[in-house]
Structure 1
């Protein structure tokens, strides 16, 4: 089944609508005709094998990469990443978050708050730091953090912005079990507050049931509907082999996509 429009519920409107999205590297097609939508107040999981194009899809949705074809609408308006006001509605955490070498953790949080017009209160960021066990490390540089701690910091910054659309590329991978439980609780809270959340994942996600499951494999995206996900992933079944790329082509999470015209 293809997702052509947002589900009609009494609490939801359409946060993100994707129509016929395609991306390729030179002659190698990553995916094509990807169509789906995300409701406000919902969580969707994106699954698929390594190399299927999940990170590339996230970059297109966040406005970081221009697709080869297709369209993205954000809250009913065309979106290509060029509008500062629209970008403030989105928080995107890539699979490998990056930070400034000369800013401490606390300085990162303040910098992002100022860059976004002070959209979040210090108290929320402090609460998130406490929840992820980072409060004692706020004066350290992220370069001194472990991979899991850097992931936690990226999540703190994203969640503190209180976005209406939250895009998380493999957020659970580097987290310890306790932090994974914290993240699930926070995402469930974001859903209850009306945010739309898209999470890519390979393994079971603790205590978080998605409203929708998206499967990207072999160059196409399928919207899977099921009443019982059992941690969100058991109904997907085995995934096929990763999409092959042309010799010398960049990995799917790297590089910039070509665009028609």
Structure 2
């Protein structure tokens, strides 16, 4: 039997879910192609016998080179994991739209670009193995609309919709699409607060205490991440699903079960109140007639 092949994006950080998943899937007997913008950042994975490729998921040329290299080496793809992503914090009123577009390129459009580029190889993998190929899109519970994570939430909500739609559109092509909604995990992105800048150079003026709000939001994010599972724990569970017959929607991380089972049952007004009062949104200063910022 031919060895099954997996391509994973976003493996550059050694403590990332992408890197952990690469190791877990290799342990399951798959040939793993791990990718990142900087191949040197994956030296540890290469030392474990994992193929590493340079890939910038926002560059069509880079995608073509990586997919061509994969095709020349294997002629097939059985599992594609769209894991690359970025996050950041800002009030939506003060979010730089160019920065938001850049985030959408990575978190939303890149997964679709990867599926489009790899579709032929995924179909080939299904035909050669006699079982469905798999696309796993790593999304987030942040899609619900967490205060000051709006740009990230928008990108992940769109990715979730994209993933769910793809699952229905290409099922007959023998490609099973999986949406993975992750809560907090002890990744360097969360615990180390590796956020991309999103603030506009012309703030609205409605958040004069933004430094306080941001510090509180950062504290909550880091605390939740510390309460979450380790990347290798999530990767172990996810790998077990991907090599079998994965569900269409997988939830993991802290507290994913709340967002899966409880949140859908809450009235909108109650959910809004909870998210406003339990986050730094509750610290936003009410405007007064004397200091309302002027619209430019």
Compute the TM-score of the two structures, normalised by the length of structure 1: 0.31
Normalized per residue, which structure has more helix? Answer: 2
- Which of structures 1 and 2 has the larger relative contact order (alpha carbons within 8 angstroms, sep 6+)? 1
